[in-house]
Structure 1
Amino acid sequence: MKRRELFGLAASMALAAGLAGPAAAQDALKIGAVGPKTGPLAGGAAVTFWPNVQLWAHDVNEAGGIDVGGTKRMVEIIEYDDQTNPGETIKAVQRLATQDEADFILAPYGTGLNIASAPIFERYGYPMVTHTAISDQIEDLSGKFPNMYFLLGGATGLAGGVVEVLSQMREAGEIGSSVAMVNVADAFGIELAEAARPQFEAAGFDIVYDSSYPLGTQDLSPVINGAKDANPDAFVAWSYPPDTFGLTEQAQIAGLAPKAFYTAVATAFPAYAGRFGAAAEGVLGAGGVYADGDAFKDYAARHEAVTGAKPDYWASAPAYASFQILQMAIEGAGTTDKAAVAEYIANNDFDTVIGPISWDENNSNAEYWTVGQWQGGVFKGVASTGRDGAVPAQPKTGWE
């Protein structure tokens, strides 16, 4: 667990205004941020989480800070690397609460790390608006941890989007009914696979290959070779960033090229298209955005201008939206009292970069993107539970 403080614009703008450094630091809101900088999920957090922490802090401080009861207060970000280790996430959140005395703590990156740290957020009264957690346990979790909220939806909905898209492709005569399915043996992958099996069966699909692999697996060739031997019409992987890249690479090497090829987290990363080029065209993946919408285009331009990197086409915007919700709740409550801010979140709607957010059993609107696809060099949303802007999915035509 490594700590890093970022005063960023909070210090520079305070000094520019003629304030002393110690006074500026004392007046700043301390915001904790915990996520992987090392370990298997570091690559994903480096795209989706950390740049949006930087962008949000920049936007807040550039605007003069967060208005707390009529007083503008800059934000100071205190970062911890949890090393993709739930135990380290728990320790980091606890240290932020007890030693750093953080005013608020941003939700961590990843399903498992959010679920692991939820009891600590609850113990110390911190509201927890998750941005990269997907689970069908939302009702149970929000019952245990009333201040825990979800922006990416549930496993059943995400898996159902894949089943829906494959069903449409089958009805169009583009694929048959056999599916090879694999998953990372982590909370995310296990729950998605469990949610997908009965839905595939109900839709008349035959899962001809069903396998899992440990988080951090380096050699994925046995997984891909097993799938290829099953000769599926569609390949579906409930994968995390390192394996999303690894599975795609191995599929190219082995010649596994069904007309429906789906990998989950990181398929929406600009680096995915950057690495695979034209071969990425037609690949399906988790999430998506209304890529042609003005709101996303504006956000993406600001993201790149401030961080030097493009956002991903799925969870980047929800990550930023979760920070916006916290900010609006602090300003709406007019205080840094955590209980008052948590109550404000529970009882209000929010206008964010991903659109209006209201709560249904601590789930945001129950409207979220489920499937996207690389089309014309852009990862466009092709299925959702109610979002506007979806485009039709297209069959993949090989790895050329």
Structure 2
Amino acid sequence: MKKTRLVMIVALLVSVFAAGCGNSSSSSSEPTIVIGETEPLSGPLAVYGVPQNNSIKLAVKHINERGGIDVGGKKHRIELVSLDDQFNPTTALSNIKKMVEHEKIQFLVGFMSGSSVMPAFPYIKENKLPTLVGVAPDKAITATNNPYVFHVRPPSDFTGLTSGRFIGEELNVKTMAVVGTTAQGFFKDLIEGVQQGLQSTGGSITTVQGFKVGDQDITAQLTAAIATKPDAIYVGADVESAAFVYKQAKELGYKGRLLGFNGGSKAQFEKIVSADVLEGIYDMIPAEINPSDHSINGPYAQTFLDKYKAEYNVEAPPSTGYGYDLMNILAAAIEQAGTTDADAVVKALNEMPVPKEHMTMKWIPVEGKMFDKNNQAYVPNASFVWTGGDKKVHKEMNSPVQEYSEGLAKIRNASK
């Protein structure tokens, strides 16, 4: 009797173990799509890299909670591999190679700057790695012809051109000094766009003063800018750098307009400056997520903001919409392709309309498509103004999408 009972117990344990192994095997064999991401998760530009990483992770979580990506009638979960490149191009390329060769990623997302992604262009093309670039504002990303690279943030000179016209026509600025991080790749394009737009209204730039990312004392550059007696000073820089510029401009007694291309949230600015310093400053950027006014945003903006706050216990910075949306755009393209084959997904990205669901940003279709013929996506440009401690929407600016797209195509075709 005891022997029979022992045999039954052993048999039961074996069956339970086998069932457990069966479930584990089923789970491990569940179809997955491996996506790689490289960002500055540490260093001076982690202020942008960490929020973009957070938004991408949140999108992956939500897509998986919805059952994953439907590939030819079978659901696939996303596995995300995220690495820190510290805003170092060599590290970024090393990260990409590591993820392709060891993690077997099928798609690539992220990036803070063209200087991080562009050295990898030959490797991306050689390995047929569909890549969606997020918050990086560099024009060269899409001006350089790489069929596997898609850019969701509008280039800085697109915003610069719109801003220059707005500054001259709406703010009646005739002379303007520029202070910013001139070593960053996007800056040259930004200023060329601003100058072109301002000159079209009869205005001019009096001087361009540069400093490095991470610099905290910009008084010398500001003193030189103020000496030209401009109607306004335009600040093209990351959030933390811009905060120091605004603070020191006020300390130097500058009374003219302060304008910027900065982005950033109230919490990010107020780590360095008080609300009274920011009062009246204009920020002219793509129409990113605004917590108090969604008229310039997509239908999913408030839901995203609520879920981001619940997940990370911090307000979502405005630029986080790029990371969240690009993951949903990629998921929609894979579903449209019905396969994870790289060329089929690239074809789907080229042909797909703007997704109808889960978009936080107000994407502008070009000829009915998500991306133009340059693999570039667009959102409207908007002006914001700091009022009473909050950055509020001033107005959506007239953004010349078709005009810009045609000009970009000429440059891209010349790079073939």
Q: Could you tell me the TM-score, scaled by structure 2's length?
A: 0.78
Q: Aligned-pair distance for 1:80?
A: 0.7
Paired residues for 1:132-147 under 5 Å: 132-137=135-140, 140-141=143-144, 144-147=145-148
Q: 1:283 is matched by which residue type in structure 2? A: I
Amino acid at match of 1:288: A
The structure number with the bigger radius of gyration is 2
| Contact residue 366 and residue 385 of structure 1 kept, 8 A | no
Say if 1:280 and 1:155 are closer, same or farther in 2 by CA, change over 3 A: same
The one-letter code matched in structure 2 to 1:178 is T
- Name the residue aligned to 1:299: 304
- Corresponding residue for 1:354? 361
Task: Tell me the secondary structure at the aligned position of residue 336 of structure 1.
Answer: coil
| 2:74 alignment partner in structure 1 | 71
Residues 68 and 334 in structure 1, CA contact (< 8 A), matched pair in contact too: yes
1:189 aligns to what? 187
Q: Quick check: 333-342 or 283-292, which moved more?
A: 283-292
1:66-215 equivalence runs, <5 A: 66-137=69-140, 140-141=143-144, 144-171=145-172, 176-184=173-181, 185-215=183-213
| Residue of structure 2 equivalent to 1:343 | 347
Rounded Cα–Cα distance in structure 1 between residues aligned with 2:175 and 2:249:
17
Would the alpha carbon gap of residues 168 and 200 (structure 1) be closer, same or farther in structure 2, given more than 3 Å must change?
closer
The residue type equivalent to 1:302 in the other structure is: K
CA distance in 1, matches of 2:76, 2:64: 8
1:327 Cα offset (Å): 0.7
Paired position in structure 2 for 1:372: 384
Amino acid at match of 1:93: I
Measure, in 2, the Cα distance between the counterparts of 1:249 and 1:119: 42
Q: CA deviation at 1:302?
A: 2.0
Gaps of 5+ in 1: 1-15, 388-400
C-alpha contact (below 8 Å) 2:114/2:136 kept by paired residues? yes
The verdict on how the C-alpha distance between 1:379 and 1:311 changes in structure 2, with shifts beyond 3 A counting, is farther
Gaps of 5+ in 2: 1-19, 401-416
Match of 1:29 in 2: 33
1: CA distance, partners of 2:103 / 2:91 = 16
Cα distance change on mapping 1:225 and 1:329 into 2, 3 Å: same
2:43 aligns to what SS in structure 1?
coil
Partner of 2:278: 280
Determine the structure 2 residue equivalent to 1:61.
64
**Match of 2:360, as an amino acid?**
V
Larger mean CA deviation between 344-353 and 269-278 belongs to: 269-278
Hey, what's the Cα distance between the residues in 2 that align with 1:42 and 1:69?
Answer: 38
User: How far apart are the structure 1 equivalents of 2:203 and 2:286?
Assistant: 22
Q: Specify whether residues 360 and 231 from structure 1 end up closer, same or farther in structure 2 by C-alpha distance, changes over 3 A only.
A: same
User: How far apart in 1 are the matches of 2:49 and 2:246?
Assistant: 20
- Partner deviation per Cα, 1:132-179 (whole Å, 9 max, x = no partner): 2334446632xx2012222222333211222122223444xxxx4221
- Tell me if the contact between 2:333 and 2:349 (Cα under 8 Å) persists in the aligned partners: yes
Distance (Å, rounded) in 2 between the aligned partners of 1:19 and 1:384:
55
Asked whether the equivalents of residues 175 and 203 of structure 2 are also in contact (C-alpha less than 8 Å), the reply is yes
Structure 2 CA distance, aligned partners of 1:370 and 1:135?
18
Q: Give the paired residue count.
A: 362
8 Å CA contact 2:167–2:198 kept in 1: the answer is no
Q: Give the secondary structure class of the aligned counterpart of 2:206.
A: strand
Alpha carbons of structure 1 residues 183 and 119: separation in structure 2 relative to 1, 3 Å = farther
What is the SS of the residue equivalent to 2:176?
strand
Matched residue type, 1:292: H
Whichever residue aligns with residue 287 of structure 1, its letter is P
RMSD, matched Cα: 2.7
Pair 340,363 (structure 1): closer, same or farther in 2 beyond 3 Å: closer
Q: Give the Å deviation of 1:359.
A: 2.2
Please list the CA deviations of residues 204-228 of structure 1 after superposition, one character each: whole Å capped at 9, or x if unmatched: 2232222222333342221222223
Query: Which residue, 219, 224, 227 being the options, matches 1:226?
Result: 224
Q: State how far apart, in whole Å, the 1-side matches of 2:165 and 2:196 are.
A: 13
Shift in CA distance, 21/277, structure 1 to aligned 2, threshold 3 Å: farther
Corresponding residue for residue 382 of structure 1: 395
Note if contact 1:65-1:74 (Cα within 8 Å) is conserved in structure 2.
yes
Give, as a single letter, the amino acid of the residue that structure 1 aligns with 2:351.
N
Instruction: Tell me how far apart the structure 1 counterparts of residues 301 and 387 of structure 2 sit (CA, whole Å).
Output: 17
Identify the residue that residue 336 of structure 2 maps to in structure 1: 332
**Cα distance in 1, alignment partners of residues 109 and 65 from structure 2:** 20
Distance 1:180 1:24, change over 3 A: same
**CA displacement 1:169-211 (0-9 Å, x = unmatched):** 444xxxx422111231110112212332333333222322222
Name the SS of the counterpart of 2:223 in structure 1. helix
Tell me if structure 1 keeps the 8 A contact 2:36–2:105.
yes
Distance 1:146 1:253, change over 3 A: same
